[in-house]
Structure 1
């Protein structure tokens, strides 16, 4: 399970920040800790998951269960990336 969590964390990082340094700073962990988690697949501590969910609450459901609920504002990085692409191209209908 930890490798799935580390992959999800990486996906959030890639959509929301410019890299590990910025992501680490935003959630309050050392960059080296994030590198170790991403590169080894080590399970992140609960405090890290909580910090991610507090910084980006829209990913909480997806991070913990793999599900999304767009009506409730719970998305995945893939959905967020698609939404941003639509907004940039001016094809967003909202």
Structure 2
């Protein structure tokens, strides 16, 4: 993540361990790398009509597509 975002790895680790709060730099970096998740990250909501999704919704869509493809074989 440090290479992708420029935010030090220790900061990411500390955030994951609940030893540090997410910083503005972290949110901005994620928004640049994954713009489709920016709205969800800040609000906790999705807005698929405008291209705002969440990692969970994307994962579900991929899994459903895989199941569908396997069923067509």
- Return the TM-score normalized by structure 1: 0.64
Question: How big is each residue's C-alpha offset from its partner over 1:1-48, in whole Å with a ceiling of 9 and x where there is no partner?
Answer: xxxxxxxxxxxxxxxxxxxxxx33211222211001110252222111
For CA contacts below 8 A with separation 6 or more, give which structure has more relative contact order.
Answer: 1
TM-score, normalization: structure 2?
0.79
Runs of 4+ displaced beyond 3 Å = none
Q: 2:45 aligns with which of 67, 76, 92?
A: 67
For structure 1, the residue ranges without an aligned partner over 5 or more in a row are 1-22
- RMSD over equivalenced CA pairs, Å: 1.7
Q: Which moved more, 1:39-48 or 1:62-71?
A: 39-48
8 Å contact from structure 2 (residues 7, 25) kept in 1: no
The alignment of Structure 1 onto Structure 2 pairs a total of residues equal to: 69
